[in-house]
């Protein structure tokens, strides 16, 4: 358990993982964090598909041409999907849940990386979403917002530099041209 500010300063995207599996209690805590996330009108319309089978992880990592490789190096992936007929801010709801899960993973000393799926394409031009839905036997009515690759970090990333924050993008009382 870290203090919250220290946690969000230290959290960085981790794309390389050790082969060590994630303790089941920790997997449960990460999923609980997603299930605890706020949603518009409390719709809770997300679906989380937990993937820990190495062959499935390798195939999931091919869902898009670039930038999905961390899934193939991770012992765990959580596919974040959501029913858009249940709530209009479905992208927001799914994104907040994914962020909660990433922060819970960081608090447990784990690394994670968000892999974007929406509007992305596999090397052969197949929409990444269709690829993932077919691989996981999901209905095509359930959009996939992202996949979280999660594992024990095998790389060290510098914490964020608090002195470099974009304070010029913060406006008080009214917008100011800068
Ligand atoms: C909406 C979103 C989409 C992202 N998509 C990817 C992705 O497809 N592959 C990847 O390796 N990282 C992805 N990332 C991670 C970002 O590249 C990363 O958060 C950003 O470079 C800032 O680095 P940091 O997370 O270490 O602070 C994504 C992050 C967000 C929030």
Distance 114 CA to ligand 1 centre (A): 6
Q: Which residue's CA is the closest to the ligand 1 atom numbered 19?
A: 13
Q: How much is the pLDDT for 51?
A: 98
Does the C-beta of 8 come closer than 6 Å to ligand 1? Answer: no
Q: pLDDT band at residue 1, thresholds of 50, 70 and 90?
A: low
Per-residue pLDDT for 89 more than 60? yes
Number of structural domains found in the chain: 1
Residues in the chain, total: 178
Nearest-CA neighbor of 116 among 102, 129, 125, 104?
A: 129
Position 175 in a domain: no
CB atoms within 10 A of CB 130: 15
Position 156 in a domain: yes
Q: CA 156 to CA 31: how far, in whole Å?
A: 25
Position 84 in a domain: yes
pTM of this structure: 0.97
Q: How much is the pLDDT for 178?
A: 86
Q: How much is the pLDDT for 50?
A: 98
Mean pLDDT of the chain: 97
Nearest-CA neighbor of 14 among 106, 142, 140?
A: 106
Distance 171 CA to ligand 1 centre (A): 25
Overall average pLDDT of the 110-124 stretch: 97
At 5-41, the pLDDT tens digits run: 999 999 999 999 999 999 999 999 999 999 999 999 9
> Which of 113, 118, 122 has the most ligand 1 atoms within 8 A of CB, as the residue to mutate?
113
At 57-83, the pLDDT tens digits run: 999 999 999 999 999 999 999 999 999
At CA 34, angle to CA 148 and CA 47, rounded to 5?
75
Q: How much is the pLDDT for 99?
A: 98
Number of the ligand 1 atom closest to the C-alpha atom of 14: 26
> Which of 92, 116, 155 has the most ligand 1 atoms within 8 A of CB, as the residue to mutate?
116
Domain that holds residue 135: 11-169
Distance set, CA 163 to CA 9, 87, 103 (Å) = 11, 38, 22
Q: Residue 77 phi/psi, 5° resolution?
A: -130, 145
Position 2 in a domain: no
Position 44 in a domain: yes
Tokens of 145: 């917002």
> Which of 79, 103, 114, 165 has the most ligand 1 atoms within 8 A of CB, as the residue to mutate?
114
Q: Which residue's CA is the closest to the ligand 1 atom numbered 7?
A: 115
Per-residue pLDDT for 130 more than 80? yes
At 148-165, the pLDDT tens digits run: 999 999 999 999 999 999
Position 3 in a domain: no
Q: How much is the pLDDT for 70?
A: 98
Position 107 in a domain: yes
Distance 12 CA to ligand 1 centre (A): 9
CB 16 within 8 A of CB 75: no
74: domain CATH number is: 3.40.109.10
CB atoms within 10 A of CB 37: 18
Q: How much is the pLDDT for 28?
A: 98
Does the C-beta of 15 come closer than 6 Å to ligand 1? Answer: yes
Number of the ligand 1 atom closest to the C-alpha atom of 70: 11
Position 39 in a domain: yes
Overall average pLDDT of the 129-133 stretch: 98
């Amino acid at each position: 358990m870290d203090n919250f500010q220290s946690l969000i300063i230290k959290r960085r995207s981790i794309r390389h993982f050790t082969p060590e599996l994630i303790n089941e209690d920790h997997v449960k805590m990460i999923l609980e964090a997603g299930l605890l996330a706020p949603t518009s009108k409390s719709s809770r319309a997300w679906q989380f598909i937990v993937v820990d089978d190495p062959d499935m992880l390798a195939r999931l990592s091919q869902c898009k041409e670039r930038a999905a490789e961390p899934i193939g190096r991770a012992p765990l992936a959580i596919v974040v999907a959501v029913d858009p007929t249940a709530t209009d801010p479905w992208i927001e709801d799914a994104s907040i849940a994914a962020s909660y899960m990433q922060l819970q993973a960081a608090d447990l000393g784990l690394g994670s990386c968000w892999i974007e799926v929406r509007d992305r394409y596999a090397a052969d031009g197949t929409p990444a979403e269709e690829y993932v839905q077919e691989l996981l036997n999901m209905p095509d009515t359930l959009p996939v917002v992202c996949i979280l690759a999660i594992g024990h970090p095998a790389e060290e990333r510098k914490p964020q530099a608090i002195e470099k924050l974009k304070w010029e993008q913060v406006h008080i009382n009214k917008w100011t041209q800068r």
